[in-house]
Structures are given as structure tokens and as C-alpha cells.
Amino acid sequence: MLARVAPQDRHIIALDLDGTVLSHGAFGTAGGDPESGYISAGLQAAIRGLHEMGHEVVISTGRSVDATLPVVERLGIRPEWVIACNGAVTLKRDALAPRAYRREYVEAFDPSDALLRIRTQLVSARFAVELADGGFLYTEEIPTGTLPSQQKKVPFEELLGVQASRVVVVSPDHHLEDFLSVVESLGLTHVSYAIGQTSWLDIAPDGVTKASALEVVASKLDIDRSRVFAAGDGRNDIDMLRWAARHGDSVAMGQAVPEVQAAAARVTGSVEEDGLLVALRQRFPELSLV
């Protein structure tokens, strides 16, 4: 067993899930099962080892809460904080809460303006809203294991005027390049948004990102920014990677697009090459004992 670190040497280790911790094969997206995806035995042991040493492992994902906690359990860790929904929902460990976590911070907004604006350009898109309480309303099915289990199909109009932690827009009819161009032409304001590796758009309340949530967590943990490590592979990780790199360390996965790699302090191998494990061993040499 690795020795526990002194309190002043604790790090925040912020880890994206899909494409960073979890491999879905050829850099694909998550399947219908929230626990789908491969985690190498070495990486799983390293993450558990860092947690047992006393470092603060913070899962930081775009997944919903329902799709995040099964992976946390699979990793065999019980971190104090978990960030879901791209920073809109932050969970705190609570032994009395369902699945041992409660919603400590939830950011919400009225998505009406963004939805109406997007629909003018993406008429055939599938729209969905993740509610502040964890519910999920959608116009057409979005097949993925990263969304809430409690779902309800509704007309588009019922997505308007609700309190949402995020909006999801998927447009299967568009190639990614066309989708990027359309979204950028919309001039979305007063929201934060990120585009996935497919024609998938996530919209969050203004100023809400994985980085904004991590900043709150770091202040609660009283850990200096120089002792922050973050890893990710998607456009929704850019702010987190930049934030961590400013005073600490951040790593982009080898399969990440150039703009994501440019946001990080360094680039590691792809998820298929166990790039996160390589990066963790570089940052924490004691993991060579695991």
C-alpha cells in the first residue's frame, strides 16, 4: 500500500471520463449502458492508489449524475466531490444520501432563447433539457448511456420556460464541420456551450464549465492551484485544461483535436494507448509501485 501524503502535499486530480478514463474503442462515444467502456487494470489501480494516498480525485464529466456514479463505483473510490453535467451539478459525499452523494451545487437557467434560436437553423435536430432536479425531457430519443435514467418524451414547446442545468442538441443529419459552422453562426449569448466529437451540442448556464466548478471545489478543499492536475480529451474540457495549466498541470489525450491539445500544458498518448496512466505516473512517480 502507498503511504498517505501529508495534508500540505495533497493534489486535486480532476479527471474527465469518456475518452480519458473510459475507452469506447476507436475513440467512439459511450454506449447505451452508463458503465460501458473499458478501463485498464493499471489505470484503475493508479486512480484508486491516488485516492487511498489522500489526494482528492475529482471526476469531472459531462455525464449526468445517473451515468456518472456507476463509473465512480466501478473505479472503487469514494471521492468527496464529483462534478457532473459539465460543471452545472456538483455532488458532495453524504452517507445518508441516495448512492452516498447529494447535490451540493446546481446551476440552472431558462433555456428558451437558446432553444428557439437553435431551432431556426437546425429544424431536424433532436432537443433535450436536463432539469435542475435531475429529470430529463426530450423531443426524440438520444441513444447514449451518459444521460439521466429518468426521461420523458415531450413536444418541443414543453422544453421552454423550465429550469435547466443543461440543454442537449443532437443533429444526426449534419457532419461535424457543418454542425460547428451552424452553431458558431448562431451567436449564442448568456450561455456556455461545448461541441462534442460528433454533432452534439451541450449548453450550460452562462459562465458554467468544468473549470468554474473545480474552482469552487478547490476553494472548499483549500488546496493551492499549483497542486492541481487535470486530464481530458473533449472541447468541454478546454476551460478545465487551461485553468489547471495556469498554475498546475494539465494533460490532453493524444486523440484530442488540436484546439483541445493547445489548451493543455502537455499532451499524452491516446486513451487506447493508456495515455492517462502514462501522464499520472509522470506526475506522481510513486505510482510505479502500484
Identify the pLDDT of residue 186: 83
Nearest-angstrom CA–CA distance, 19 and 37: 9
Q: How would you class 206 by CB atoms within 10 Å of its CB: exposed for 0-12, middle for 13-18, buried for 19 or more?
A: exposed
Identify the pLDDT of residue 29: 52
Note the pLDDT tens digit of each residue in 194-206: 777 678 888 999 9
Would you put residue 141 in left (φ > 0), alpha (ψ -120 to 50) or beta? beta
Tell me the mean pLDDT in the region 140-149: 79
Identify the pLDDT of residue 260: 97
Identify the pLDDT of residue 70: 94
Identify the pLDDT of residue 33: 56
Identify the pLDDT of residue 288: 80
DSSP state of 222: T
Note the pLDDT tens digit of each residue in 163-182: 999 999 998 888 878 888 88
Q: Does domain 7-106+209-289 have CATH number 3.30.420.140?
A: no
- Residue-wise DSSP of 58-109: EEE-SS-HHHHHHHHHHHT---SEEEEGGGTEEEEE-TTSGGGEEEEEE--B
Per-residue confidence at 27, pLDDT binned at 50, 70, 90? very low
What is the pLDDT of the chain when averaged over all its residues?
91
Q: What are the extents of the domains in the chain?
A: 7-106+209-289, 112-205
Note the pLDDT tens digit of each residue in 85-107: 999 999 999 999 989 999 999 99
Note the pLDDT tens digit of each residue in 214-246: 999 999 999 999 999 999 999 999 999 999 999
Contact 21, 36 (CB under 8 A): no
Tell me the mean pLDDT in the region 76-82: 97
CA 110 to chain centre: 21
Identify the pLDDT of residue 232: 98
pLDDT of 141 over the 90 cut: no
DSSP state of 2: P
What is each CA distance from 39 to 44, 69, 196, 273, in whole angstroms?
Answer: 6, 15, 21, 11
C-alpha cell at 47: 486512480
Q: Which fold has domain 112-205?
A: 3.30.1240
Helix axes 210-221, 238-247, angle to 10 degrees: 40
Per-residue confidence at 35, pLDDT binned at 50, 70, 90? low
Helix axes 275-283, 41-53, angle to 10 degrees: 30
DSSP state of 54: T
pLDDT of 120 over the 60 cut: yes
Lowest mean pLDDT of 16-20, 68-72, 181-185, name the range: 181-185
- Sheet of 151-153: strand order equals 151-153, 136-138, 126-131, 164-170, 200-205, 191-195
Identify the pLDDT of residue 46: 97
Q: Choose among 243, 284, 281, 234: nearest CA to 261.
A: 234
Per-residue confidence at 31, pLDDT binned at 50, 70, 90? very low
Contact 54, 12 (CB under 8 A): no
Nearest-angstrom CA–CA distance, 252 and 100: 30
pLDDT of 136 over the 60 cut: yes
C-alpha cell at 23: 475507452
Contact 60, 213 (CB under 8 A): yes
